[in-house]
């Protein structure tokens, strides 16, 4: 089970370098060449100081279906990571169709809904400075 592709995910993708930002951990997503488990992903907490999410190598529709079937709303956060979205070929229209999943995020992850809303407003996977500050303020408010 070796990583095909590794992505930084979580708050550090959006807020690294922001004044006062100090993440409690580093989140990482690894897509692996083989996956010997029945489920599509496993989470290993504390691996070399990181929270690592290992995923089966799936198609875009596989990742979306897996997120829709998950009982954990926060799994939708990977889709707002521009590098991951680009890797699976996710379009802004497909992200727009996931709005219902972002509406279910808990308070601690509500900054991701702010990022999602900005992407929809921008019609692209990017934040302007004002949108990044708004998302960061939401992050600080809920942590």
Percent of the chain clearing pLDDT 70 (strictly above): 100
User: What does the pLDDT average to over 104-117?
Assistant: 97
Side by side, which strands form the sheet with 41-47?
Answer: 3-9, 26-32, 50-56, 41-47
| DSSP β-ladder status, 41-47 and 50-56 | antiparallel
**Residue 83 has what pLDDT?**
98
Overall pTM surpassing 0.85 (yes/no): yes
**Residue 117 has what pLDDT?**
98
* Residue 57: half-sphere exposure toward Cβ, Cα within 13 Å: 10
| Statement: residue 96 has pLDDT above 90 | yes
The 10s digit of each residue's pLDDT in 25-45 is 899 999 999 999 999 999 999
């Amino acid at each position: 089970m070796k990583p095909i592709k590794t992505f930084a995910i979580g708050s550090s993708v959006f807020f690294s370098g922001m004044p006062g930002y100090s993440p409690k951990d580093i989140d990482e997503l690894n897509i692996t060449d083989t996956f010997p488990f029945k489920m599509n992903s496993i989470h290993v907490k504390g691996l070399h100081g990181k929270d690592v999410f290992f995923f089966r190598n799936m198609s875009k529709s596989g990742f979306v279906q897996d997120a829709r079937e998950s009982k954990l709303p926060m799994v939708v956060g990977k889709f707002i990571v521009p590098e991951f979205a680009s890797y699976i070929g996710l379009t802004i229209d497909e992200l727009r169709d996931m709005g219902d999943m972002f509406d279910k995020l808990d308070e601690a992850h509500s900054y991701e809904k702010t990022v999602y809303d900005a992407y929809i407003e921008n019609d692209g996977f990017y934040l302007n400075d004002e949108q990044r500050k708004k998302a960061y303020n939401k992050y600080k408010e809920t942590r």
